[in-house]
Amino acid sequence: MGVQLTWRNGLDDSETAEVIGLLAETEKADGVAPVGEHVILRLKAHRDVVHQIEPVQADVRSEHFIVRDSGGVLTGYAHLDTEHEAGAGQLVAELAVHPEHRRLGAGTRLVEALLERADLGAEPDADTGRLRIWSHGEHPGALRLSERYGFHRPRELWRMGRELAEPELPEAQPPEGVTIRTFRPGKDEADVVRVNHRAFVWHPEQGDMTEADVRAKEKEDWFDPGGFFLAVDPSGELLGFHWTKVHPDGTGEVYVVGVDPHAQGGGLGRSLTVVGLRHLRDTGRSRVILYVEADNVPAVKVYQRLGFAKWDSDVQFGR
């Protein structure tokens, strides 16, 4: 059965629902989401806009590749993030193939279309390796495709985890003069974004977080200001934060820990992490996960000392 691929710079309401359904089925079969959270948030936000505005509005940060079989059934999807194409020239893709339609050419067609798109948009003398494709959980199908197209692994993100009952969590000991309080919706967004940018100016995704991004996440079912911890100095200036998250299956997550560079080196990051871990434990979570760059050796060591171990990896492939 053949595959038919189409390109979109905006999805209508029906297609968005189909894509979200395919992503959910893929996650159920593989035990790991095939795309990052930001893709889901963009799809949801776009769906809300489509309900209000006609015709379909394009998201200038996203392009969509849709694969259907000869009967019109959605069998594959790829999201291409073009947000940094004009600056760094980087294009970042994530894709999924429906579990019941694998090994039938959908994944191959998506990768070839993404490569064609990267070449089409490149300057004549540009680096041909500007396309990056994520494989969440290092899926075997992604490994096969990476070998076929000669991809290498420029980036690896570890998922680390631990049980919250054992080993025993240490006490949180904030630096002298530092107070830890919880997040106040409608008041703290700007300060969090400011510190986040300073803490993650080097990070290709996290450093770009905006106030609009924070407010969008405040609307998610998982958002809980009581699990969002802010460290402030005596004058009330924000020094760092630990944003926790709880997944639908009850797993807690060290979602983001950010410390302003001028407040680093005194143990504030570790204290904030412990505060969040103890909160997750005390609210009934039995285990917790986090994501960390594999080459961020200092951070990995901090988490290992707190009882975390590597569980699996998200790998970014490129050429």
Q: Does 104 count as an annotated binding residue?
A: yes
Is 291 annotated among the ligand-binding residues?
yes
Is 257 annotated in a binding site? The answer is yes
161: left (phi over 0), alpha (psi -120 to 50) or beta: beta
**Distances from the Cα of 48 to the Cα of 54, 176, 230, 265, angstroms:** 12, 46, 31, 43
| 110 appears as a binding residue in the annotation | no
97 is in an annotated binding site: yes
Cα–Cα nearest to 293, from 178, 96, 159: 159
User: Binding site annotation covers 194?
Assistant: no
Angle between helices 37-52 and 211-218 (to 10 degrees): 80
236 is in an annotated binding site: no
Residue 265 labeled ligand binder: yes
258 marked among binding-site residues? yes
Instruction: Extract the tokens encoding 203.
Output: 């990070």
Determine whether the annotation assigns residue 106 to a binding site. yes
Distance CA 131, CA 120 (A): 12
Residue 300 marked ligand-binding: yes
297 Cβ neighbours under 8 A, 6+ residues apart: none
Q: Could you give the residue ranges of the DSSP H alpha helices within 31-86?
A: 37-52
Tokens (6 digits) for 162: 């631990």
Q: Is 268 annotated as a binding residue?
A: yes
The annotation status of 108 as a binding-site residue, yes or no, is: yes
Identify whether the C-beta of residue 198 lies closer than 8 Å to the C-beta of residue 261: yes
Place of tokens 């000669």: 150
Largest Cα span, the chain? 67
Establish whether 57 is an annotated binding residue: no
- 41 among annotated binding-site residues: no
267 assigned binding-site residue: yes
Which is it for the CA torsion 9, 12, 14, 16, positive or negative?
positive
Q: Is 251 annotated as a binding residue?
A: no
Q: Residue 305 is encoded by which pair of tokens?
A: 């000392």
Looking at the DSSP bridge assignments, the partners of residue 95 are 78
Q: Is 37 annotated as a binding residue?
A: yes
Q: According to the annotation, is 95 in a ligand binding site?
A: yes
Q: Is 107 part of any known ligand binding site? A: yes
44 is in an annotated binding site: no
Using alpha carbons, select from 313, 294, 316, 291 the residue that is nearest to residue 134. Answer: 316
Q: Is 240 annotated as a binding residue?
A: no
CA 28/CA 161 separation, integer angstroms: 20
Do the annotations mark residue 230 as ligand-binding?
no
Binding-site positions read: 37, 95-97, 103-108, 205, 245, 253, 257-259, 264-270, 291, 296-301
Residue positions forming the annotated binding site for acetyl-CoA: 95-97, 103-108, 257-259, 264-270, 296-301
